Amino acid sequence: MSFYVLFLVLTAAVLHAFWNVLSKKAGGKAPFLWLMYIASTIIYLPVLICQVLKSQIIFSEALLWFSLSSAVLHITYFLILQKGYRKGDLSVVYPLARGSGPLFSSAAAILFLQEELKLFTTLGLVFILSGVLVVTGLRLKATTNLTKLTGVFWGILTGLFIAFYTFNDAVAIKSYAVSPLMITFLSNFLGCFLLFPLVIGQKVEIKREVREHKWPIMVIGFLSPAAYILVLEAMKYAPLTVVAPARETSILLGVFMGSRVLSEQNGKRRLIGSVLILAGIVTLSIA
């Protein structure tokens, strides 16, 4: 991995962890996400216009369809993520969401593509599963497990959609020469319309979100696409199997912020579990 790609991915990891802390603190629902999509569209429109004027954008039918599928997957991801943050701690939901994506990909390859279960694959899966147990503090016979399983469920479900949209957008970038900025912008732009049916009749909630979370909405509207555009840009120069593990360094930052900024419990244990999850992701990438 070149220094340029490493810089892109690590910068994206920092931005990603930071906006997730803001998202957790806001605890928003569909109106919050809708406003965030609107803010993002407005913020990135001038940047897109500049790229179009420089003729760096290639318009195609593939761009439209990949942007639409990306919008649907991202909306579902955001709604599930916000639900998880309302139900569980950031330092539980975030590492599980980021760590379960590679777990799903590897499991699917073994079960449906008849890929061989290699040593590094086995070690990677063991690391990730061990990290999940450490992060959540789950014990096989503990009576308190049910109260923690809610955060686990939403975190893992989020990870499933992370795997979906990452694969979708990686194919668009690598196989169809789609612009990272364009697919991200169009995904957010289409998201404004796709989310609209969910916010009809919620004028009071929309006004409350604007009044209480105006700045978080604007900051997330800028940072969330910026982090993802950096990752997509890195995918142009390095394989997904290299970029994906590197970007998950955000797991450690997310757990650290959950402990320090949000004063969540069991910070040291969850940080150790996050290291195990990250080690599992890296191990899977070299399997």
Instruction: Tell me what the mean pLDDT of segment 135-161 comes to.
Output: 71
Q: Give the pLDDT confidence of 25-52 residue by residue, as tens digits.
A: 898 899 999 999 999 999 999 998 888 8
Task: Decide if 66 contacts 176 (C-beta within 8 A).
Answer: yes
Residue 265 has what pLDDT? 74
Is the pLDDT confidence value at 80 over 90? yes
Residue 140 has what pLDDT? 44
Helix (H, G, I), strand (E, B) or coil at 236: coil
Q: CA separation (Å) from 209 to 23, 38, 202, 205, 212? A: 12, 13, 11, 6, 5
Q: What band does 82 get if pLDDT is binned at 50, 70 and 90?
A: very high
The fraction of the chain above a pLDDT of 70, given in percent, is 85
The fraction of the chain above a pLDDT of 90, given in percent, is 35
**Which letter does DSSP use for residue 27 in this model?**
-
d(CA 263, CA 257) in angstroms, rounded, equals: 8
Angle at alpha carbon of residue 276, lines to 274 and 280, rounded to 5°: 115
Q: Is the dihedral of CA 278, 159, 133, 255 positive or negative?
A: positive
Q: Give the pLDDT confidence of 166-221 residue by residue, as tens digits.
A: 888 888 888 888 888 899 999 999 999 999 999 998 999 999 999 999 999 999 99
Instruction: Tell me what the mean pLDDT of segment 236-257 comes to.
Output: 74
pTM > 0.75: yes
Q: How far is CA 112 from the centre of its chain?
A: 25
Mean pLDDT for the chain overall: 83
Task: Decide if 223 contacts 239 (C-beta within 8 A).
Answer: no
Q: CA separation (Å) from 232 to 22, 64, 88, 118, 166? A: 23, 17, 29, 28, 9
Residue 91 has what pLDDT? 76
